[in-house]
Structure 1
């Protein structure tokens, strides 16, 4: 089974600063390339600071390190106004993340013509 991280709240997908730092420890390339704003304001990088808890938006949702961090940290991985959840789908499914009524879900990719 493939694991994918989705956001079940109505705001955008993002990670907490704590989750972002853990991804950097694990060597996740997108996290390593992202600027760590918390490094400039370490005393403000707590969970209540919205501007420093909107990390990791460019990380692929099926990245094994992302899934690991969300499973490890659970609620502490949630970025500002995010509610992250790991879902499992079959390996051979072509998938997309769809936002329905503000909440994300994983859907099988279908062909479409216009």
Structure 2
């Protein structure tokens, strides 16, 4: 089951775990898997008065490093474009925003979740 199908199932499981984790941490989930002309936003959440754009990265092993290492400079720039598009679409131009990365490592029946806040 390796390949795209396996990667998709790992990603789907990561998103499920990530949403539950963030909800437990007090985030209010507003949108999931928001598609735009520029790509997809994994989660849009609120924490207090701040709108949080969350990138979820999930891996099943460390062969390519920790999941959060996949969020490099160009990925952060893309997230900022996606957020600008989302804010304009929802008429929230003066909204306080933050970018978080949720790193999830799935190893068998165990998972390690790390939340990196304010990655901009």
* TM-score of the pair, normalised by structure 2: 0.24
Q: Which has the higher contact order (CA 8 A, sep 6+)?
A: 1
* TM-score of the pair, normalised by structure 1: 0.25
